[in-house]
Amino acid sequence: MDKENFHFFAFLSRMKYINRWGLMRNTFTENVQEHSLQVAMIAHGLAVIRNTYFSGEINPERVAILAMFHDCNEIITGDMPTPIKYYNPQISKIYKDIEDISKEKIISMLPEEMADEYYSLFFKNPEDVECWKLVKAADRIAAYIKCIEEVKAGNTEFKKASEAILSTINDIELEEVKYFMDKFIPGYYLSLDEID
């Protein structure tokens, strides 16, 4: 039996130590691991909505798994704040290159026989274009939910971010996103006692 050790999963477990929203004063912290789970649940829901109401034929489980791994590289890069990441095209390109290098590094922690399976989760391929659209939409929705929660807690630091993120969500031309925003987002404004 091979006695070589692989550190892929131990390394991924460190997602919980990477906090998001580094430039903002937070009422409560959010780490990359919990964010990824929320994005996965929302992305899965978007796929189910598409299939149920809009004649879609997308695999919800594939969408969810891509969402689970969508920010794994941030264990190495940290969570780069959006205003910095997209400050100009040169910074965006350099950051994308750094993301790719970090993904390769993480995949290198797997046995060779398993690497291909995970490579397809870390790097976008043409077969998953529609899935990645839902992951990206879910990522924005999760950010908007964070803003709702912070503003509800009295943290006006997130008011402008909330407006900006909502604007980007409204620009997404996917019926399942509009459905989710109309039918599921209002619940986030309620207290626990108001949810039934």
Q: What is the pLDDT of residues 58-90, one digit of tens each?
A: 999 999 999 999 999 999 998 877 777 777 888
Of the chain, the percentage scoring pLDDT greater than 90 comes to 85
Domain 8-194 has CATH 1.10.3210.10: yes
HSE-up of residue 193 (Cα within 13 Å, Cβ side): 0
User: What would you measure as the largest C-alpha separation in the chain, in angstroms?
Assistant: 57
Whether 70 and 103 have beta carbons less than 8 Å apart is answered as no
Which residues are registered as beta bridge partners of 21?
none
pLDDT class of 3 with cuts at 50, 70, 90: low
Return d(Cα 180, Cα 38) in angstroms, integer.
Answer: 14
Give CA–CA dist 80/95, Å, rounded. Answer: 9
Give the separation between CA 169 and CA 133, rounded to whole angstroms: 12
Which has more pLDDT, 132 or 87?
132
pLDDT of amino acid 1: 44
The closest of 66, 73, 70 to 107, measured between CA atoms, is 73
Beta carbons within 8 Å of 3's beta carbon, 6+ residues apart: none
Domains in the chain: boundaries: 8-194
Residue 35 has pLDDT above 60, yes or no: yes
